Amino acid sequence: MNYGPTVDLCVIAPIPRRHILSHKRTQPGHPNLFGAYGVIVLQLSRNGRRHAIFISGKAYMDIARKNVGRRKLIRWIVTGVLTLGAVTGISFGVRRLKPAAPGVDMSTLWPDTVRRGPMVREVNGLGTLVPEDTMLITAMTDARIERILIRPGTPVRADSVVMIMTSPELDTLLLSAQYTLKASQADYDNLKVTLQKGLLDMQSKAAEVGADYQNAKLQADRDAKLAKDGLVSDIDAKISATKAEQLFEQSQIEKKRLEINSQADQAQLAAAKVKVDQLQGEYDLKKSQVDELKVRAGFDGMLEALPAPLTQVEEGQKVTAGSPLGKVAQPSHLKAELKIPETQARDITIGLPAVIDTRLAGGGSNGLIDGHVSRIDNSVINGTITVDVALKGALPLGARPDLSVDGTIQLEKLNDVLYVGRPAYGQENSTVQLFKLEPDGRYANKVKVTFGRSSVNTIEVKDGLRVGDRVILSDMSNYDNTDRIKLN
């Protein structure tokens, strides 16, 4: 190899034995460490590169090693087995390790302590104050609203005119009913006079027949005496007696005819009177409908707006018969109408005590009103049952109809039970899993808890917890797959 112009430098130095041994070579007859010598020739090129050439001063020979490949194979096999065993052991250990407990901020949780003692079972529901006495003002006939005189929120009396409506059709019908009634009344009066005239004629004829009968009777009596004295023949006396008998029969017939005719006249008059009364009723109805065009409150109270979904009426609007126009209530007599979930209402009975929170604390009142259950609606609407609570005592200042309230009904009082605060998803007579805090409060473990009877804020514990245990009542659904959490 040509390195260009160079400068040779020869150095003679001993070669350490470790270098010799590292090259797997053995000196014959030279066991000492520095028993071998060599010559190192350094060549320096002009470009600054240095090249060393080792020239050994003695001769060496290679020693053949036996079973080198076999030992390497064994060494590689042992190394592989040990490595595989180590990897398998580490993997198995890692799989057996439990995952780290997730951390939860304790300030965001709601813990509670299990206690033993009396527990009051209650149910709670939202509702409103409603008047006990209300009346819905409705239109009596089809009409148009001309003027609204009183607006909602104004006290009214029974005869207060709330609004005025008009109906030309109803005015026409009233006028027609009025003239029809007058015509019927005139016909009735005419029939009555006619019947009276006929009655007088029959009475005159009956009187005439009666007089003829009396004269014939007198004549027959006279002829009978003369015939007895021989002054009149017996035949003349018999003729006079027969004539008197005929007139008597005719007189009786006229009396019966007069009696029957009087009854017939009364029947005709009664029929005519019924027709008059019918037309009078129709006229009165039309007249009352016209009067109802002046809409009155109906009783003393407060005029209120129509409840939803009904809409308020306006001037100029046409309404049909039965349409709601307004609502009148007595604001001094109120009751609470609560909406109780149907799952909690099965134990409610009439007469149970209740407390209504009107949220109107102040002025010497705490805003709470005592009462009792007065009515339970049987129908279920949107998963709730309506329960009416009759109120006792004076109402706080500001209490008015449609005021939102919160009511609590006391079901029963349990004297000695194990209970805890009601969790977010804890239902009555159910089994749930809660996180129970460890004594040091750093971790919480999931435990199975069986609940019994429940109240608004508390629930009975049947199994799974003891007095003094602390549990988390918050919604922990995000940790359903975790049995242990760390509390930060």
Q: What is the pLDDT of residue 19?
A: 46
Q: What is the pLDDT of residue 118?
A: 92
Residue 234 has pLDDT above 90, yes or no: no
Q: What is the pLDDT of residue 56?
A: 46
Residue 232 has pLDDT above 60, yes or no: yes
Phi-psi region of 312 (alpha: psi -120 to 50; beta: other; left: phi over 0): beta
* Least trusted range by pLDDT, from 23-27, 317-321, 394-398, 423-427: 23-27
Give CA–CA dist 266/96, Å, rounded.
115
CATH for the stretch 126-130+333-403:
2.40.30.170
CATH for the stretch 134-167+293-327:
2.40.50.100
Burial of residue 321 (CB within 10 Å: 0-12, 13-18, 19+) is exposed
**CB count, 10 Å around CB of 414?**
17
Residue with the larger pLDDT of the pair 314 and 261: 314
Q: What pLDDT, in 10s, does the model give residues 161-219?
A: 999 999 999 999 999 999 999 999 999 988 888 888 888 888 888 888 888 888 888 88
Residue 299's contacts (CB-CB under 8 Å, 6 or more residues apart) are: 133, 135, 158, 328, 330
CATH for the stretch 104-124+414-487:
2.40.420
Output the pTM of the full model.
Answer: 0.52
Q: What pLDDT, in 10s, does the model give residues 346-362?
A: 889 999 999 999 887 66
Q: Where are the beta strands (DSSP E) in 16-104?
A: 25-26, 36-45, 50-56, 61-62, 103-104
Q: For residue 420, what are the β-bridge partners?
A: 459
Q: What is the pLDDT of residue 181?
A: 93
Q: What pLDDT, in 10s, does the model give residues 419-468?
A: 999 898 878 889 999 999 999 988 999 999 999 988 888 999 999 999 99
Q: How confident is the prediction for the chain on average, in pLDDT? A: 81
Give CA–CA dist 315/430, Å, rounded.
59
Q: Which two tokens stand for residue 480?
A: 């359903």
Q: What is the pLDDT of residue 93?
A: 63
DSSP state of 102: P
Q: How confident is the model at residue 38 (pLDDT cuts 50, 70, 90)?
A: very low
**CB count, 10 Å around CB of 72?**
10
Q: How confident is the model at residue 66 (pLDDT cuts 50, 70, 90)?
A: low
Q: What pLDDT, in 10s, does the model give residues 76-105?
A: 888 888 888 787 777 766 566 556 778 888
Residue 47's contacts (CB-CB under 8 Å, 6 or more residues apart) are: 4
Strands across the sheet with 324-329, in order? 134-138, 324-329, 301-304, 155-156
Q: What is the pLDDT of residue 168?
A: 92
What average pLDDT does the segment 241-253 reach?
A: 85
Q: What pLDDT, in 10s, does the model give residues 383-432?
A: 999 999 999 988 888 888 888 999 999 998 888 899 999 898 878 889 99
DSSP-based three-state secondary structure for 11 = strand
Q: Which two tokens stand for residue 310?
A: 């009904």
Long-range contacts of 91-100 (CB under 8 A, 24+ apart): none
Give CA–CA dist 110/421, Å, rounded.
10
Q: Where are the beta strands (DSSP E) in 132-198?
A: 134-138, 143-148, 155-156, 161-166
